[in-house]
């Protein structure tokens, strides 16, 4: 390191000579902090998204690196949110990538004391069998001699952070099953 570089790297000197007389920005930066880059800078892609919490609908930018979500930030382009996120929206990264998320199907058999593992395909097959059976058990062609063509054997209660397309399929399938007890958070 030359003398010149040594003097230049001295914060007080930079503060006096440079554009940062209060020493709050460039003058106070050390070499390591100078070299710090936000984790979003190295992202492979930015994916446009929408916050999944409340119904304001703030825009989110989802940063992806090596096939993993590395950061979620507000989308400045959104005329709704102008780049802001609230504490919940800012916690979206923990929501989506946090260790509290379950990644495996779990099964509790009748009267069982604890969870057991079950693979997804088996679970889907078992659930389909149970739907068919409960649907049949609760079937009502008529009530008071008036046609109802329905089942009261199967019910569903959905949240309301589901996508429109998901709700559409749920309502379509369950209606075709004859189920009427199809509900969501909007009732609650």
Partner 1 sequence: MAECHPVGFQWVMEAKARGAKVIHVDPRFTRTSAMADVHVPLRAGSDIAFLGGIINHVLRTGAYFREYVAAYTNGPVILREDFRDTEDLDGVFSGLDPEGRGYDPATWQYQGVDVQAASGQRDPQFDRRDASAPDVSDAAHGESHGSGGATIPEGRPESDETMTHPRCVFQVLKRHYARYTPEMVERICGVPQDVFRQVCDMVTENSGRDRTTALAYAVGWTQHTVGVQYIRAASVLQSLLGNIGRPGGGILALRGHASIQGSTDIPTLFNLLPGYIPMPYAHRDQRLDTFVRADAAPKGYWGNMRAYLVSLLKAYWGDAATAENDFCFDYLPRLTGSHSTYETVMAQLDGTCKGYFLMGENPAVGSGNAKLQRLGMAALDWLVVRDFSLIESATWWKDGPEIETGELRTEDIGTEVFFLPAAAHTEKDGSFTNTQRLLQWHHQAVRPPGEARSDLWFTFHLGRIIREKLAASTDPMDRPLLDLTWDYPTSGELAEPDAEAVLAEINGRDADGNPLSGYDQLADDGSTSCGCWIYCGVHAEGVNQADRRRPGGEQDWVAAEWGWAWPANRRVLYNRASADPEGRPWSERKALVWWDAERGEWTGHDVPDFQKGKAPGHRPPEGASGPEALSGTDPFIMQDDGKAWLYVPSGLTDGPLPTHYEPQDSPFPNLLYGRQRNPVRHLLRPPHPDNRYQPSGGEPGSEVFPYVATTYRLTEHHTAGGMSRWQPYLAELQPEFFCEVSPELAAERGLEHTGWATIVSARAVIEARVLVTDRMPSLTVHGRRLHQVGLPYHWGPNGYSTGDAANELLHLSLDPNTHIQEAKALAVDIRPGRRPRGPAAPELVRRYRRRAGIDEETGTAM
Nearer to partner 1, 30 or 97 (CB): 97
Nearer to partner 1, 27 or 58 (CB): 58
Do residues 179 and 154 touch, judged by C-beta distance below 8 A?
yes
Nearest alpha-carbon partner for 61 in 98, 100, 88, 90: 90
Nearer to partner 1, 37 or 186 (CB): 186
CB of 72 to partner 1, least distance (A): 7
CB of 33 to partner 1, least distance (A): 24
Tokens describing residue 27: 């003058």
Nearer to partner 1, 8 or 119 (CB): 119
Residue 89: partners with Cβ closer than 8 Å, 6 or more residues away: 51, 53, 58, 60, 74
CB of 41 to partner 1, least distance (A): 17
Q: Environment class of residue 59 by beta-carbon count within 10 Å: exposed (0-12), middle (13-18) or buried (19+)? A: buried
Nearer to partner 1, 8 or 44 (CB): 44
CB of 46 to partner 1, least distance (A): 9
Return the DSSP state at 58.
Answer: -
φ and ψ of 80, to 5 deg: -80, -50
Cα separation of 21 and 44, whole Å? 38
Do residues 36 and 63 touch, judged by C-beta distance below 8 A?
no
CB of 43 to partner 1, least distance (A): 10
């Amino acid at each position: 390191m030359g003398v010149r570089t040594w003097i230049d790297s001295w914060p007080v000197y930079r503060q006096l000579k440079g554009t940062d007389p209060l020493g709050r920005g460039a003058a106070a930066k050390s070499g390591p902090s100078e070299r710090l880059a936000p984790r979003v800078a190295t992202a492979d892609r930015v994916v446009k998204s929408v916050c999944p919490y409340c119904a304001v609908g703030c825009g989110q930018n989802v940063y992806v690196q090596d096939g993993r979500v590395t950061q979620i930030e507000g989308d400045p382009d959104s005329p709704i949110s102008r780049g802001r996120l609230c504490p919940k929206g800012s916690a979206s990264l923990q929501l989506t990538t946090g260790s509290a998320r379950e990644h495996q199907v779990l099964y509790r058999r009748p009267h069982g004391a604890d969870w057991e593992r079950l693979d997804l395909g088996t679970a889907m097959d078992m659930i389909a069998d149970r739907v068919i059976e409960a649907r049949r058990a609760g079937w009502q062609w008529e009530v008071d001699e008036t046609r109802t063509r329905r089942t009261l054997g199967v019910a569903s209660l959905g949240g309301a952070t589901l996508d429109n397309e998901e709700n559409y399929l749920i309502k379509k399938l369950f209606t075709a099953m004859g189920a009427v007890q199809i509900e969501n958070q909007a009732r609650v």
